[in-house]
Every structure is written in C-alpha cells, then in structure tokens.
A = this chain, B = another copy of it.
Amino acid sequence: MAKLLIDIHTHVYLPRYVSFLRARSSVPRIFSRNTAEGKTEERLLILDGEPSGGRPMGPQYWDREQKLSFMDRHGIDISLVSSANPWLDFLPASTAHSLANELNNDLEEYCSTSPSLSAAGGTTKRLYGFGLLPLVPDVPITSLVDTVKQITKLEHLKGIILGTHGVGKGLDDDALEPVWSAIAEAGLVVFLHPHYGVDGKEWGKKDNGHVLPLALGFPFETTIAATRLILSGVFDRHPDLRILLAHSGGTLPQLSSRLASCIDHDPIVASRLQHDARYYLGKLYFDAVAYGAEELGFVSDAIGRAEWFAARPSSAAASKEQGLALRALGSKRMLFGTDHPFFPPLSSTEKWKSVVENLEAIDGVHGWSETEKDAVRGRNALALFGIPSAK
C-alpha cells in the first residue's frame, strides 16, 4: 500500500455559506473595505471585538481549486474537509436546519466531484467531508437525528463537525442522547472543534492580537467540552462513539491525571463513571495539530496508558513497566492535520510554516518508528474514516 498523507483538519466556507455571511450586518459576517493601497478587500469577522477588524478573506476559504493546489504543494493526498466555525450557531432553528441540509449536499458535491486519488481514475477521491448539524437552541432533536441520517446517506461525508454549545446547554446535555445514539449507530466520526474560547476578560488589557484566544482559549474550550462529555457518561453509554478532538485534545492530556484525582476525591461524581477519567482518552481520537514533537509524544503516552485505567481502582505502578511502548500504542489514535486555510504564512513561500511544523513534529517524536509516523500521517485516517485506499 502506498504511503498517503491525509489531512483530517482542514476547513472550508462553502460558497453558499460565504454568500450568506456577505448578506449579514452583524457578526459573523463578511464585509468589504478599501485598503491603504486603494484596493477592495473582504474581511471575515467571526466574533464581536476581534482585533484588527477580523481576518482577510479570499478564495482560499471557498475555492476548491485553491484547496487542491494547497494539497499539491504540501504533498497531501486526501483531505477530510470540514466547515469552519462558527457553523450555524448564530441562526434560528428553522434556518439552521434548512441551511445544514443544503450545505451538506453542497459538501457532498464538493467531494464527490473532486479528482480521483489515482491518475488512472477510481472511486477513491481526494476530498471527503464532515457534515454539519443544526445545533442551535430550540431545534427539535428530531431535526438533528434527521440530519444525521441525511449525512449518513451522503457517501463522501464521513463524519460531523461539532462545536461545543450543543442546543445551548453544552454537549453534556441529556437532550442530546438520541443524537449520540444516531451518530454511533451510523458509524460517523464526530470532529469536536472549538469556536468560543473562554470569557475574553481573562486576556487582560494588553493588545496581544489574536494570540491569547487562539493559543489558549480554543484549546481550553475543547478541553472543557471533552471533560464535560466524559463526566456525563456519554462514553460509558456509547462505547462505539468515535470522537476526534481538535488541536490534539487541547489540554485534556496534560490535565487528565489531575482530573482523575479530582474525581477520585468526589465520591458522587466518581460513582457516576465506570472508569478512571484517564481511561476515556483511549476512546478518543486526537489530531496531530500541536506544532511540537514533544507535545505529540506526550499525547500518545496519554492515549497509550488508557488501558491501565480500565479497572477502578487503577494501578499507576503499571507505568514503570512500559516506557516507550505506550507511545506506539497511542499513535494509533492520532491523525495529521493542517488547520488550512487558517495560520497562513506571512509572506509568500513555497510551503506553509504551520504545515511544515506539524509534519516536522510527527517526524520528530522520540519513540515513534516510521510505522507509527506513517500511521499518523495517513494510515489511521484511512481506517477511521473507512476510505478505500487502493481503488
């Protein structure tokens, strides 16, 4: 089997969505303004109060040719494309439902009409996708389940991208139980991705651009959502549910033993879970978008040790026996990603620094052989998403 490079964290604003954002007068919206050089530029405002008037917007966000050209430039064979935040979070329920359906059909077409992986043709495409659910307050749960069914029927959509707010009360909301059932039964992969960060007052008064909300807020949000999911017992009730965490799980790995300790010291919370908190990291998947080899090595340790914690009370003493064997084990649940078209290079260069760093990080993990590195770069994605590799 040829070695493939597969990007499972790469975003698009589909043309229908872009038109929708252009027509809006409040955030999220796309607006035009004149530059100092007398040209017109479009900018995307995702949240109120973004520094420097939002971010520059161009066809890299919607044009499939630019996605494919980016892939070619970086040697990426296949991409699993997902809509970028804020998805449909800001819409009333009925609009969200109809737009989700339309965007899912659009994305299916975006993928199904993409080039074949092999120049000789074949059914394996270069683009696959994650669909959208209309996760907004007041949406009927049946609409969500219906949309899961719609996505299941769209052959090139292999999963669903989810934010963290659910239908307004977060992902640990009991009301979502039928949605988890439907997703697990359909075998779709949930890609859990941040959008809101944490309260902006935490960042203080200094102007640090987007650095603090992006570098810290995003991973914090993912960590909180994943932890609340663990505490809600979702993984005990749906052991087959496959959830992929953005940005290598945020900070869940580094806080997982502290989390286990805090739960241990609260008998009521502990009694609701079948396992030590660290066990659930072995049920999750993690992208490899962490920009550093030591980070990836550690995330794979945290996944690899999960099985020690199947029983309660668990024995941490097991750790002394294992060393780097953990790391190989954990690599099976980690998958390369780029976060394209975000983190663009500051100057025009052949390759994007953000992509190069993520590839170098995989290559630099101490204790991963080429087998593990190849798995993280592509083989894990083929298996997780059920993509035919040789057709």
Contacts and interface: CB of A to CB of B under 8 A. Distances in A.
A67 interface: no
A256 interface: yes
A316 B214 CA distance: 21
Contact of A292 (B263, B316, B364): B316
A109 interface: no
Nearest to A218: B258
Given A261-B291, A291-B258, A364-B319, A198 B220 contact: yes
A298 interface: yes
Interface string A189-217: 00000000011011111101111101110
Contacts of A211: 231, 259, 262-263, 266, 269
Q: Report how many copies the assembly holds.
A: 2
Given A216-B227, A324-B366, A354 B261 contact: yes
Contact of A364 (B263, B317, B346): B317
A294 B253 CA distance: 9
A283 to B, nearest CB: 17
Given A266-B210, A320-B363, A346-B267, A203 B216 contact: no
B292 A257 contact: yes
Given A257-B290, A295-B254, A346-B265, A323 B366 contact: yes
Smallest CB-CB A-B distances: 3 pairs: A257-B292, A298-B298, A251-B251
A200 to B, nearest CB: 10
A16 interface: no
A170 interface: yes
Contact of A269 (B209, B295, B344): B209
Contacts of A323: 366
A135 interface: no
A215 B291 contact: no
B293 A319 contact: yes
A326 B294 contact: yes
Contacts of A301: 294, 297-298
Given A224-B212, A364-B320, A343 B261 contact: yes
Interface of A: 169-170, 172, 198-199, 201-206, 208-212, 214-216, 219-221, 223-224, 227-228, 231-232, 247-248, 251, 253-269, 278, 290-295, 297-298, 301-302, 305, 316-317, 319-320, 322-324, 326, 343-344, 346, 353-354, 357, 360-361, 363-364, 366
A172 to B, nearest CB: 6
Contacts of A294: 257, 298, 301-302, 305, 319, 326
B219 A255 contact: yes
Contacts of A253: 254
Nearest to A267: B346
A322 B319 CA distance: 22
A374 to B, nearest CB: 17
Contact of A262 (B210, B324, B346): B210
A215 B258 contact: yes
B262 A214 contact: yes
A264 B212 contact: no
A309 to B, nearest CB: 10
Nearest to A266: B209
A135 to B, nearest CB: 15
Nearest to A196: B202
Contacts of A267: 346
B227 A260 contact: no
Contacts of A361: 257, 316
Contacts of A221: 202
26 contacts: A172-B206, A198-B198, A198-B199, A198-B202, A202-B221, A203-B224, A204-B228, A208-B231, A212-B224, A212-B227, A215-B227, A215-B259, A216-B255, A219-B251, A251-B251, A253-B254, A256-B295, A258-B290, A260-B291, A261-B291, A261-B357, A294-B326, A298-B301, A316-B364, A317-B360, A320-B364
